């Protein structure tokens, strides 16, 4: 028996990466929701490896490129929120999936304004 004998391979479904990113984004204070105005087949249309409402993941030279499109609260500091999302997403993918992240692009698409109650 060889100590370094391979037991097989481990593969992650693309949906796993999308779920990790989605969970991190939605748990981040200041984000109200993912920006969901993409058609279901946007990944195929744009040549993106994997896409879900507001999230796109592709591979570039064995590293992940992640794009997230979010709607935020009006009271948050948007630049700071974007940087926090970049760090949290990259860390989660690297820690949970063991994959290298090349870049995380955060697109703040809108600000969720509270609706005034009707009189």
The predicted structure's pLDDT at residue 15:
87
Q: Is residue 67 part of a domain?
A: yes
92, 99, 93, 8: which is closest to 61 by C-alpha? 99
43, 76, 38: which is closest to 58 by C-alpha? 43
CB atoms within 10 A of CB 25: 21
Q: Is residue 70 part of a domain?
A: yes
Mean pLDDT of all residues belonging to the chain: 84
Range of the domain at 59: 28-111
Q: What is the CATH number of the domain that holds 102?
A: 3.30.70
The predicted structure's pLDDT at residue 116:
55
pLDDT band for position 48 (cuts 50, 70, 90): very low
Residue 117: Cβ-neighbour burial (10 angstroms; 0-12, 13-18, 19+) = exposed
- How much is the average pLDDT of 27-38? 87
Q: Is residue 65 part of a domain?
A: yes
Number of domains in the chain: 1
Angstrom distance (rounded) from CA 51 to CA 39: 10
Q: Percent of the chain at pLDDT above 90?
A: 57
Residue 64 half-sphere exposure toward CB, CA atoms < 13 A: 26
Residues in the chain: 119
**Structure token pair of residue 49:** 């490896």
pLDDT band for position 110 (cuts 50, 70, 90): very high
Q: What is the pLDDT of residues 54-105, one digit of tens each?
A: 898 888 888 999 999 999 999 999 999 999 999 999 999 999 999 999 999 9
Q: Is residue 68 part of a domain?
A: yes
């Amino acid at each position: 028996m060889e100590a370094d004998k391979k037991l097989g391979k481990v593969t992650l479904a693309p949906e796993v990466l999308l779920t990790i990113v989605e969970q991190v984004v939605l748990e981040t204070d200041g984000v109200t929701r993912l920006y969901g105005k993409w058609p279901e087949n946007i990944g195929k249309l744009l040549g993106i490896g994997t896409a879900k409402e507001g999230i796109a993941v592709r591979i570039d030279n064995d590293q992940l490129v992640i794009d997230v499109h979010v709607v935020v609260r009006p009271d948050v500091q948007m630049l700071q929120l974007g940087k926090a999302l970049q760090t949290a997403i990259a860390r989660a993918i690297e820690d949970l999936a063991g994959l290298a992240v090349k870049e995380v692009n955060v697109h703040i698409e809108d600000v969720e304004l509270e609706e005034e109650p009707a009189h």
